[in-house]
A = this chain, B = another copy of it.
């Protein structure tokens, strides 16, 4: 199958490109290099050293004989985007190509506007290009479980049956996003749902949990095929960050009381979920929503798991509660449904000590690359302008 991976140079995009390439698909990457540019401008870095996209794809060919082509470009550049889609004629587009973190979107007005513009307008352009040049293409779009917020009822997969004043309807699940990043994803979902309806596009919206891990079968082939691993306050997702903190003897930083409960997924399961979505496309005009996670933990549970597991490596771990820089409930109900992907055949890799110790060992190996100043949160939701440490 011909698959376009937008954002295919990123943390998940790159291993996804290799994963699908190895399964025999023809892969084209479109990436704006936005994530790498942030590091260059702000002196941030990946824990693990990564190759540039030209070298990555060269090594991939050297090791497997398989070609992954790439184009450097932005979804907001419609002439380039539409030419790419028109020329390649993908059967599926996997769209990772968005600004992907809440703290980034809350730095200041400029970063909030960038997030909205890049994500919402970029995705509108993808929809127009599909309608214009590639109408049978299946759009597989990465969303986030964070779109739902923390309602006091169970979270369903995209839709909910509501009975109200004696009448019934199945409606889009109400969303309560908690950053401009999460908002941009909610807007994307509404826009895509509309495009499916009016233009008969078929789309899958994957509301993904927090991803952890950095190793996949493909990244293990050669160190030069590694994907990035972020431990900083902006891009470092919580479990990855905790493992780094444990490894270097830095206290695990829990924001607020730590009762915040979220859904999680192993990077290897992400690879498989996207494959399952591609292998089982929706009908024309269908806007299908899957909740893409495997387990639910509170921050306190995670810090305890990491703490416990670090004893195996003789690491002493301290837990430090910081004032919460975010605006969120620190004690709340949380229960979410994730049966759609399981029913399609997902066999989850549950969180186990082996993954955590491998993350910690990776952090220990790369200790010299870690900049402690990047770890503690300086981006506060209540401020107008936040300053990043250098």
Using a CB–CB distance below 8 Å, which chain A residues touch chain B? 78, 109, 112-113, 116-117, 120-121, 124-125, 128, 131-132, 151-154, 160, 162-165, 167-169, 171-180, 183, 186-187, 190-191, 194, 197-199, 327, 333, 381-382, 384
Residues of B within 8 A of A382 (CB): 198-199
With A and B bound together, what is the CA distance between A164 and B124 in angstroms? 33
Contact status A171-B176, CB under 8 Å: yes
Residues of B within 8 A of A190 (CB): 175, 177, 183, 186-187
With A165-B153, A190-B186, A198-B327 as contacts: A113 and B109 at CB distance below 8 Å: no
Kindly report which residue of chain B lies nearest to residue A133, judged by CB atoms.
B384
A selection of 10 A-B contacts at a CB cut-off of 8 Å is A78-B109, A113-B125, A117-B121, A132-B384, A160-B162, A162-B174, A171-B176, A173-B174, A183-B190, A186-B190
User: How many protomers of this protein does the assembly include?
Assistant: 2
With A120-B116, A194-B183 as contacts: A171 and B174 at CB distance below 8 Å: yes
Contact status B165-A162, CB under 8 Å: no
With A and B bound together, what is the CA distance between A163 and B152 in angstroms? 10
Contacting A198 at CB < 8 Å: which of B164, B165, B381?
Answer: B381
Residues of B within 8 A of A168 (CB): 152-153
Q: When A and B form their complex, which 4 residue pairs have the shortest distance between CB atoms, in order from nearest? A: A152-B169, A171-B174, A153-B164, A198-B327
Closest Cβ of chain B: how far from A126's Cβ, in Å?
11
With A124-B112, A131-B384 as contacts: A169 and B183 at CB distance below 8 Å: no
Closest Cβ of chain B: how far from A102's Cβ, in Å?
11
Residues of B within 8 A of A183 (CB): 187, 190-191, 194
Closest Cβ of chain B: how far from A201's Cβ, in Å?
12
With A and B bound together, what is the CA distance between A128 and B195 in angstroms? 30
Contact status A176-B167, CB under 8 Å: no
Known interface pairs A163-B163, A172-B174; 18 further A-B residue pairs with C-beta atoms within 8 A, sorted by A's residue number? A109-B124, A109-B128, A112-B124, A116-B124, A124-B180, A131-B384, A151-B171, A153-B167, A160-B162, A171-B176, A172-B175, A172-B176, A173-B174, A175-B190, A177-B194, A198-B381, A198-B382, A199-B382
Closest Cβ of chain B: how far from A140's Cβ, in Å?
21
Contact status B167-A333, CB under 8 Å: yes
Residues of B within 8 A of A171 (CB): 151, 153, 174, 176
Residues of B within 8 A of A162 (CB): 153, 160, 162, 164, 174
Residues of B within 8 A of A187 (CB): 120, 183, 186-187, 190
With A and B bound together, what is the CA distance between A175 and B153 in angstroms? 18
Kindly report which residue of chain B lies nearest to residue A380, judged by CB atoms.
B198
Kindly report which residue of chain B lies nearest to residue A159, judged by CB atoms.
B174
With A and B bound together, what is the CA distance between A78 and B112 in angstroms? 13
Closest Cβ of chain B: how far from A288's Cβ, in Å?
16
Counting chain B CB atoms within 10 Å of each CB, which of A109, A116, A197 scores highest? A109
Closest Cβ of chain B: how far from A69's Cβ, in Å?
26
Closest Cβ of chain B: how far from A196's Cβ, in Å?
11
Kindly report which residue of chain B lies nearest to residue A167, judged by CB atoms.
B153
